[in-house]
Structure 1
Amino acid sequence: MKIAILNTLYHPYKIGGAEVSVQLLAESLVDGGHSVSVITLHEATESIDQLNGVTLYRLPLRNLYWPFAGNPSRPLRLLWHLLDIYNPLARADVSRLLKQIQPDVLHTNNLAGFSVAAWDAAHAQGVPVIHTSRDYYLIHPNCMLYAANQHQSPDSLSGRLFSVIKKWRSHSVGKYVAVSDHVRTLHQRQGYFRQVSAEVIYNPVTQPALAERQTSPAGTITLGYIGRLEPAKGIETALQVCRRLGPAYRLFIAGSGDSRYMTKLQLTHAGLDVAWLGHIPPEEFYPAIDILLVPSQWAEPLGRVVLEANAHGVPVVGSRSGGIPEIISQGETGYACEATDIDAFVAAVEQLVSQDQQQTRMHCQAWARQFTKENIAARYLRNYQNLSHSHTDKPAQAVGPSEVQNP
């Protein structure tokens, strides 16, 4: 098949897990013998590149500023988001590339910077569209439904105003996929994609060649945290859990954040046994820890670090919010706890420590194998083929919530 995949960012840009997941999918499809083009944005002029068999069409952002750097004023941000509700310039760019690529299907993912106008660009040329929700962009302009350390309602006035056109245009999509049942339910409850079939396909993770585990000092358990160092990700909860557990525990922190915030954290927890590692490859980080903490305070659409840890044989204690609890096999690959319940996190860590460590590692690795990039690519490919065939034969039939498939 000739497949076009559209995502806001692509390698080397990486803001979150979406960029990793889209790249794994694209390269897996190429490995399967398919022609894959990725349409993405960047800061410079338009260009065409090749990366691991994928043809990359990089388009300049047709908006007021590059949103992934700097701190623009509030009025400028508002204007940016207003244009991003439906961006006709982006539509023209996508339309031109689709005429050039002539794909059998367009798979859209994160749409910030392109807007839902990309769907209409495809529709006008008879290219069927499958869309995967990897964030909350369609529901709220901040994509997270979380700001100022508190959850935001999808029914807020700003959310409703910014989403009215997006919701209307979602009915032109031929197939809807969400990265978790939480994401699917939320979008459909808000009125998106009600007229098309829906499916949950979790993100792929690389299955590593397992390195020899590094042993902690005798009598010490090493906890881990990996990701952005910011309140929404729960880094402070991780530090508090380590403090509550006592001197037999230490914490390895991989990632970075605002320098002032990091300095504050380091001063506040100066007496704790913490290693601030900065950015470190996952294949070096996971073999060095015994348990991963994922204490996200916001409802993460999925939380791919859970699956990455499991693939390395590391159990997880994560927040019972968003898509995280869906990918934790309670008691076998870890535990899900209320995001703000420090006592529950502490108890879950102690429970994992008391279990058979070798058996837990085996459960984690077995669990992660269902999320191989080959398995996930095969599921998407079936959808591409079905959508392409139904587009030429007859419209896809809508399904109710009870018919949604889960892995």
Structure 2
Amino acid sequence: MSADQPSEVLDSAAAAGADAVAIRSDGRRDYLRALRAWDRDARRGILWCHGLVPSLATSGHPDRIVHLHQDPRGRAQRLAAAVARRGALATLVPSSDMSRRIRGSRSHANWTAELPVLVGDGARSQDVGYLGRISTDKGVDVLARAMKHLEPTARLVLGGDSRYVSDEDLRAVEEDLTRLGPRVVRLGHVTPADLFAQVGVVVFPSVWPEPFGLVAAEAMAAGVPYVVSDAGALPEVAGPEHPWVARAGDVDDLAAVVTRALAATPEEVRLVTDRARQRWEDEFSPRAGRMRVERLLTDLGVG
């Protein structure tokens, strides 16, 4: 069930063979009313509410699972989240780190599609990759400044865009990227596999408390070397044995960790990436996700 416009969610559900219900509405407020009416009059079985909006729309209704993917920001969102959780069977969040901030929630990790494991076919690239929102909370400005400490031939290969980024935030990022001149390669929208194949290491330098780290999990699936900051759940996703973790917001430390990852021997890289791929299979693969859903429903007595 989703709003009829935009239609991406409905199209994806239909392509996967799922039954899809279009909630016809004119704007968010109308969507909230229409969804609440549908849930009251037509819904049967358990409703899994992905995100704050459907959870708030169906607040107080029985047999619901509230699944929050982001920390509520500001007083209004915190109040909305409290209302949205009323009557829910459970409140799920994507990491133990986030569950410590959302009282009474339980960790339910995300999972990713399977990606082809990259196989090295020659000299390893010294280029550094990033995939995600081009913003300061994601630490792109920190990464750009860290690049100044790397070999001058190393390029920063950026995938993603600046949608939903304020003009002030965007200016701050662009100032640091501009200083790198031709060392910045902008790919725009690109698949994770395409970006991973072009770089020697991919970096996730967030400075805000990441609730999960989906692209980091995709890097684990692809067997590509990666560096994370210690912000939020990123170290939790990477696992306690991952060697390349930098202090969030620390330019010098990030540069040192990226340099160490790029200088790793083929044997060291294989050890780290094989271990990461196994962790992905155990924790973040589609199979692991299905098993986690089955356990949840059994625990809730609705499996």
The alignment's TM-score, normalised by the length of structure 2, stands at 0.83
CA distance in 2, matches of 1:180, 1:292: 22
Shift of 1:207: 2.4
Write the deviation string for residues 53-98 of structure 1: whole angstroms up to 9, x where unpaired: 112223235646xxxxxxxxxxxxxxx7xx99xx544311332341
The aligned residue for residue 288 of structure 2 is 375
**1:185 CA drift (Å):** 1.0
Change (3 A) 1:60 1:308: same
Whose strand proportion is higher, 1 or 2?
Answer: 1
Q: 1:358 to 1:166 in 2, by over 3 A?
A: closer
Distance 2:24 2:273 in 1: 45
User: Which residue in 2 is equivalent to 1:60?
Assistant: 24
Alignment of 1:47-126 (within 5 A): 50-61=14-25, 63=27, 87-98=32-43, 102-103=44-45, 105-112=46-53, 114-120=54-60, 122-123=61-62
Separation in 2, partners of 1:279, 1:322: 25
1:11-44 CA distance string (max 9 Å, x none): xxxxxxxxxxxxxxxxxxxxxxxxxxxx122426
Among all aligned residue pairs of Structure 1 and Structure 2, give the percentage whose two residues are the same amino acid: 19
Tell me how far apart the structure 2 counterparts of residues 358 and 284 of structure 1 sit (CA, whole Å): 20
**1:182 CA drift (Å):** 1.5
Please list the CA deviations of residues 355-393 of structure 1 after superposition, one character each: whole Å capped at 9, or x if unmatched.
322222212212211111111122112222442449xxx
CA distance in 1, matches of 2:77, 2:221: 39
| Correspondence 1:357 to 2:283 | no
Conserved 8 A contact 1:213-1:288: no
Matching residue within 281, 286, 290 for 2:196: 286
Match of 1:172, SS state, is coil
Match of 2:246 in 1: 337
User: Cα 1:94–1:116, aligned 2, differ >3 Å: closer, same or farther?
Assistant: same
The number of residue pairs the alignment matches comes to 290
Cα 1:165–1:285, aligned 2, differ >3 Å: closer, same or farther? closer
> Among 212, 223, 230, which residue is 2:128 paired with?
223
CA contact (8 A) 1:319 1:338 kept: yes
Answer yes or no: is the 8 Å Cα contact 1:215–1:288 preserved in 2: no
Cα drift, residue 353 of structure 1: 3.2
Map residues 5-404 of structure 1 onto 2, 5 A cutoff. 39-43=1-5, 50-61=14-25, 63=27, 87-98=32-43, 102-103=44-45, 105-112=46-53, 114-120=54-60, 122-123=61-62, 128-136=63-71, 139-140=72-73, 159=75, 162-164=77-79, 166-168=81-83, 170-188=85-103, 194=104, 198-213=105-120, 215=122, 221-257=126-162, 261=171, 267-271=178-182, 273-330=183-240, 332-355=241-264, 356-370=268-282, 371-389=284-302
State how far apart, in whole Å, the 2-side matches of 1:367 and 1:255 are.
Answer: 26
Alignment partners' CA distance in 1, 2:23 and 2:185: 40
Secondary structure, in 3 states, of the residue corresponding to 1:239? Answer: helix
Structure 1 Cα separation of the partners of residues 122 and 157 of structure 2: 13
Rate the CA distance shift 1:61–1:365 in 2: closer, same or farther, 3 A.
Answer: same
- Structure 1's unaligned 5+ residue stretches are 1-38, 65-79, 141-157, 189-193, 391-407
- Report the Cα distance in structure 1 between the residues aligned to 2:177 and 2:119, rounded to whole angstroms: 30
Are the structure 2 counterparts of residues 291 and 43 from structure 1 closer, same or farther at C-alpha, using a change threshold of 3 Å? same
User: In 1, are the aligned partners of 2:112 and 2:214 still within 8 Å (CA)?
Assistant: yes
Cα offset, 1:48, TM superposition: 7.1
Quote the offset at 1:224 in angstroms. Answer: 0.6
